[in-house]
Amino acid sequence: MPTSKIGSAIPVPRFPFPASTIAIGYAVPRSGVPAAASFRRWVEAALRGAKRRKPVELAIRIVDADEGRALNRDYRGKDYATNVLSFPAELPPGVRLPLLGDLAICAPVVQREALEQGKRANDHWAHLTVHGVLHLLGYDHITDDEATTMEALETRVLAGLGIADPYV
């Protein structure tokens, strides 16, 4: 299988993740926002990095600051727009569907953070997409141990995409 690999990075195959459905919705002008193909590539890399071999269904909605703030306020009780929100699927017991969940990524927050942190905007979009997918898969960063595990996996996945460690 042809792949690209950097150091201890997770290899990224040059063909799509089989049978997954990744829907991308844009609630903002698309100028400065990555194309759907980029989001799909980043999702696929996160799934492979987490050793998820089964196909999944997930949706990503790119939102503006008002919608990002409303979602963060309504679902997390925090009255400000944040970079990425993850909404894992909550299926009834016994229902077996490949539904992973939804991500909401706030375009103006991503752009502002990339500028403030001196990162390429596209690299920051990739990082937040990978970060959100890992949350959908059950990873978290509430405790130090969880954060160490999640950040190490993010860093490996991003390295496989040719993106520098976002935590340095």
Distance in Å from the first CA to the final CA of the chain? 32
Q: What is the pLDDT of residues 107-158, one digit of tens each?
A: 999 999 999 999 999 999 999 999 999 999 999 999 999 999 999 999 999 9
CA 43 to chain centre: 6
Q: What is the largest CA-CA distance in the chain?
A: 47
Give a yes or no: residue 40 inside a domain.
Answer: yes
Residue in the block written with tokens 């987490």: 50
Domain count within the chain: 1
Q: What is the pLDDT of residues 25-50, one digit of tens each?
A: 999 999 999 999 999 999 999 999 99
The two three-digit tokens of residue 77, written as one number = 């009780």
Give a yes or no: residue 7 inside a domain.
Answer: yes
Q: What is the CATH number of the domain that holds 154?
A: 3.40.390.30
Residue in the block written with tokens 């727009």: 81
The two three-digit tokens of residue 71, written as one number = 């979602």
Structural domain including 55 reads: 3-160
- For 61, the enclosing helix (H) or strand (E) is strand 57-63
